[in-house]
Amino acid sequence: MKENIRKSFASDNWSGASPEVMKALFDINIGHHPAYGENDTLMETARKKFRDIFGNESLTFFVYNGTGANVLAVRQLLRPWEAVVAAHSAHLNEDEGGAPEALTGSKILSVETGNGKIKPEQIQAFLNSIGFQHHVQPRLISISQTTEMGTVYSIGEIRQLAEFAHSNNMLLHVDGARISNAAVALNCSFTEMICDTGVDVLSFGGTKNGLMFGEAVVFLNKNIASGFEYNRKQAMQLASKMRFIIAQFIAYLENDLWKRNATNANAMAQLLGAQLSRLPGFSLSRAVEANGVFAILPPEIIEKLQAEYFFHVWNEQKNEVRLMCSFDTTEQDIEGFVSAARRLAV
Ligand SMILES: Cc1ncc(COP(=O)(O)O)c(C=O)c1O
């Protein structure tokens, strides 16, 4: 059953779970634990780990998936006539099946960015609606770190957006499905990236970097988290066997597993980018910033290469593809992919 399962470069959630996470799942499977994480000492252990990173004023909740984390964060902070500003390319806007609008009633005001990153001046125009009863009221800015285009907001850029949000009575949400890759890319801690910049709420990802499933919603100030448990239950994101999510996060934050995994994924993306760009007829369409490689390939080889190592075409007109590296991508995987590309291109 096992061998012959070639790695893909389709997405970082095509990989499995880290051995440390599998061990944590196996260990926590033994015996009985309180359901829903209620009065479970394990929950307190996990929350303490999050408080050690995000401060004593923070409060963390665990959910099943990234869409759930994002939608619940928005639903917690907005009333239906309030709006969230996000990049057009944001997962929240393009890839959540309309769940944000359906579950929150709120409109997404999207911004064209080119590289996935929003700048404060692009939000400025929406502020004219404030106080005008015919328009939705912009209340939340949501950014993805890393972005869907593989780019990374600098600490200064996040701080600027937080200051802009707060000076306009808005809040800042970070979709951190790939926050570990971003922290490694910036060589900073989560505290520096999120707390010190003034972020209000974070979807803290795990699935894309070695968890089997599970994400966390971190409110940097517990005052804005009031009632979140009801919000989560109503939206069907309260896990009955919560211990399986919590145990994974404890393993993830212990011994810097998050960092080791993201370091490997980012390093493999650098290697892949460097090697591909040396092949005649291949070029990078963006600099490699974290664990995603965006490249232009000779059009005639794309389907044949996909048959050997699956990946997604990002922009058909430009023959641009997206290649994602994972915590378990190896140098041999890169060599195999690059030599297949070289062979097919002749
Ligand atoms: C930027 C971003 N946010 C959130 C998610 C989480 O999505 P899911 O609901 O599939 O866990 C993803 C997954 O593709 C993503 O790329």
Range of the domain at 50: 19-255
pLDDT value at residue 346: 81
Phi-psi region of 199 (alpha: psi -120 to 50; beta: other; left: phi over 0): beta
Residues 200 and 267 in one domain: no
Indicate whether 11 belongs to any domain: no
Q: Where are the alpha helices (DSSP H) in 84-202?
A: 91-94, 99-104, 120-124, 155-167, 179-186, 190
If asked whether residues 35 and 139 sit together in one domain, one would say: yes
1 domain residue, yes or no: no
CATH code at position 331: 3.90.1150.10
C-alpha angle 282-335-275 in degrees, rounded to nearest 5: 35
To 5 degrees, how large is the angle CA 63–CA 66–CA 69?
Answer: 55
* DSSP-derived secondary structure letter, 16: -
For residue 2, the model assigns a pLDDT of 52
- Tens place of pLDDT per residue across the chain (346 aa): 455 567 899 999 999 999 999 999 999 999 999 999 998 899 999 999 999 999 999 999 999 999 999 999 999 999 999 999 999 999 999 999 999 999 999 999 999 999 999 999 999 999 999 999 999 999 999 999 999 999 999 999 999 999 999 999 999 999 999 999 999 999 999 999 999 999 999 999 999 999 999 999 999 999 999 999 999 999 999 999 999 999 999 999 999 999 999 999 999 999 999 999 999 999 999 999 999 999 999 999 999 999 999 999 999 999 999 999 999 999 999 999 999 999 999 8
Asked whether 179 and 190 are in contact (CB, 8 A), the reply is: yes
CA distance 50 to 345: 48
Establish if 13 belongs to a structural domain.
no
Q: Which of 186, 191, 197 is nearest to 157 (CA)?
A: 197
Same domain, 220 and 92: yes
Query: Is 197:159 a contact under the CB 8 Å cutoff?
Result: yes
d(CA 203, CA 218): 6
**Do 191 and 248 sit in the same domain of this protein?**
yes
* CATH number, domain with residue 224: 3.40.640.10
Give yes or no for residue 122 CB within 6 A of ligand 1: no
CA distances from 261 to 149, 268, 327 (A): 20, 11, 4
Asked whether residue 337 falls in the same domain as residue 240, the answer is no
Q: Which atom of ligand 1 is nearest to the CA of 90?
A: 1
**5 belongs to a structural domain:** no
Is residue 114 situated within a structural domain? Answer: yes
Q: What is the DSSP letter of 4?
A: S
Give me the number of domains the chain comprises. 2
- Check if 145 has its Cβ closer than 6 Å to any atom of ligand 1: no
Q: Which atom of ligand 1 is least distant from the CA of 175? A: 3
Nearest-CA residue for atom 7 of ligand 1: 66
The dihedral of CA 68, 74, 76, 78: what is its sign?
A: negative
Q: Are residues 25 and 173 in the same domain?
A: yes
For 146, residues 6+ apart whose C-beta sits below 8 A from its C-beta are 152, 178, 179, 181, 182, 185, 289, 290, 291, 292
Is 336 among the domain residues?
yes
Structural contact between residues 313 and 320, judged by C-beta atoms closer than 8 angstroms: yes
Q: What's the confidence (pLDDT) of residue 289?
A: 98
pLDDT at 81: 98
CA proximity to 267, closest of 209, 325, 333:
325
CB atoms within 10 A of CB 195: 18
CA of 74 to the centre of ligand 1 (A): 15
Please tell me the pTM assigned to this model. Answer: 0.97
| 188 falls within a domain | yes
Q: Is 100 in the pocket of ligand 1 (CB under 6 A)?
A: no
**Is residue 12, in this structure, part of any structural domain at all?**
no
Parallel, antiparallel, or unpaired for β 312-315 and 108-111? unpaired
- The residue whose CB lies within 8 Å of the most ligand 1 atoms, and thus the one to mutate among 208, 237, 312, 314, is 208
